[in-house]
Every structure is written in structure tokens, then in C-alpha cells.
A and B are shown apart, each in its own frame.
Chain A
């Protein structure tokens, strides 16, 4: 258990993110890529993810304003969103993306709309938690969260 209170807080925040299912193993993979030459790698990737997500969410929102829905297009956007969510280990967001794509495939517009609202909620929650996490991380300084196996 970390003696340093900030680092202890960071450890607890990190554990909670995993225990509550917001993050999966892929996030650990990213942590393993972080080192002294690139100490903010994970945060950089996540920041890219926010930018990417903002664009995709907007595209999907606009597509959902046009009736009848173009399910093919909606699915294509969500495929991208699912991909980048998967790449950072965003477990819940990824699950909602998968569900959305199921609704697209079955042409269920209502389902898509409902699912998308839920997805946006999950994404907002994750983002808030990650922002708080990285804020503490920056204050706490470099920390061994995961060791890259030799």
C-alpha cells in the first residue's frame, strides 16, 4: 500500500475504475507502454480519444436527425467509436457501442436512439472519472502502476 497519500488516492481511484467496470485490460496495456521517455503517454492517448469521440458523437447525432435513419452510416460511425473505445480499454462505452451496432443491424431506430443516449451518459461519466484520475496522477508524479513484463 502506498505511503504517499496522493499515490494512495491514485491507486484507489485506479482500482475503482477497474472494479466498477469502466476500464478493462487494454488500459493496463497502455500503462505498460508508459515510461520515463513518455511519462504522460496514457493521458495523451486518452486525450486523443476525447477528440476523436467528440467528432464521432457529433456525426452520429447529426445522422440521427435525418429520417429515415441511414443505418449503414450509423453503424460505420459506431464501428469507429467502438474501435477507439476498445483501444483505450473503455469497457462500458465499448459495450454500449456494440449494442448500438446490433440495433443498426436489425434496423431498430428506437433502440439506436435509446442506446445512444445511454452511451453518451457512460462516455460522460468515464471522461469525468478519467480527468479526475489524471489530475491526481499529475500531482502525484511518476508512479509504477504496471510493470512491463521483461
Chain B
């Protein structure tokens, strides 16, 4: 039985990752739930952005305290949903002080470059093209956990950013295949570059870090 998430966690920690999955499609919710459970995650699957915010306690309703036991480690959301889109949900999460650190992954059946760019610009960790495969989820688990491991290591984080800048010189080639982001090379993975302690001047002077993610998205087979 796959235990991708549990196996890669730092020794001594046997906590499963808790993933909040958001999708208005019954079929897709069932599939993503299974993909995550097989990857040893705890899953909460909800049908809308509104429900997701409710679960996180971000809906402004009083009495939404005490979610410590249900800490969310990753949010995976569909892009096209009635009411609040995945993009709008992403923005709300990234603009909240309590939850902006939670990695958000967008899933979409449409491989639209401008859409991908806007999501990454707003701080999405990854953009997966549907249908989502087991290999996508496994890669996410590795990336998320790797990110968690380096959370407190600011020095290493700078090195990662530098490495990502080196990669940004790919010419993004548009892919019409339905495969999602490729496995990153043995280099550091998709650590979110928008960390609080990176000086603003660093961000401005170098190329936008997200372009390296874009290059990774499209520079694959």
C-alpha cells in the first residue's frame, strides 16, 4: 500500500497530511478523494469555495474556532466552479493571514496559459491539468513535504530561489497534451517563492520566480 506522504515525512513524525479538496463535480471529488487516501492523506472533500472557506473558518461566521485538530496542510481546488471560482478561492486564502501559508493547487480541465499564469501569480503552488493522475498526487506529496521540511531554513530557501532563477531561461512551449506539471529535476522543487522574509528588492530585481514554474509546466515531453 502506498504511503508516499507518510514515508517521506521527517523521522519521528507519523502525521498524515490533511488535504482539503474542493470540486463541484461528484465524480471528480470521489476520484481526488481516492487518489489522496491512497497516498496516505486525510481528506476533506467539499463542493464549493464557500464550503471550503466555511471549513477553514474564513467565512466570517462566529464560532468557527477550534480547528487545530483539523489543520489543513494542502488545498486542492478545481478552477471552474459555479459561484466562487478556484481562482477566487485562491485569492481569499492567500490574502488571509491565518491561511496564506497553506499551499494551494489549482486543477483545471483547460490548459490555458493566461489562466495558469494568473493562478501562479496569485500564489498557487501548482496548476494541474485534469484529469488528475496518481503520479500528479504523488509528486505533490513529495513537493509539499519537502517544502515543509525547509520551512525554517531561510538560508537554503535563498539558494532554491537562485536555482529557480537559473532555470527561468526556458522558452515556455505550449503543450496541448493533457499531462500536468512534469517531475522536477533532482533540483529543489516548487517551493513557493513568495516567502515573507525574502526582501522585496530581491523579488523586483530578479525575474519573477513563478516564470520558472511556468517553464517547468510547459517544457516537458
What residues make up the interface of A, taking CB atoms closer than 8 Å to B? 26, 29-30, 32-33, 35, 38, 41, 44-45, 48-49, 51-52, 79-80, 82-84, 86-89, 148, 150
Give the chain A neighbours of B38 by CB distance below 8 A. 33, 35, 148
- How many residue pairs, one in A and one in B, have C-beta atoms under 8 Å apart? 55
Q: Which residue of A lies closest to B133 (CB)?
A: A29
The distance from the CB of A63 to the nearest CB of chain B, in whole angstroms, is 15
The 9 closest A-B pairs by CB, nearest first: A84-B27, A33-B34, A87-B131, A26-B131, A87-B27, A48-B26, A83-B109, A48-B27, A49-B27
- With an 8 Å Cβ cutoff, the count of chain B residues facing the other chain is 17
CA–CA, A16 and B150, complex, Å = 49
Q: Is the CB of A51 within 8 A of B130?
A: no
Mark B21-39 against chain A: 1 for CB-CB distance below 8 A, else 0.
Answer: 0000111101100110010
The answer to whether B2 has its CB under 8 Å from any CB of chain A is yes
The answer to whether B134 has its CB under 8 Å from any CB of chain A is yes
A86-B109, A87-B130, A87-B131 are contacts. A38–B28 as well, Cβ < 8 Å?
no
The distance from the CB of B129 to the nearest CB of chain A, in whole angstroms, is 10
Known contacts A79-B109, A148-B134; 6 additional CB pairs below 8 A are: A29-B134, A32-B134, A33-B35, A33-B134, A87-B25, A148-B2
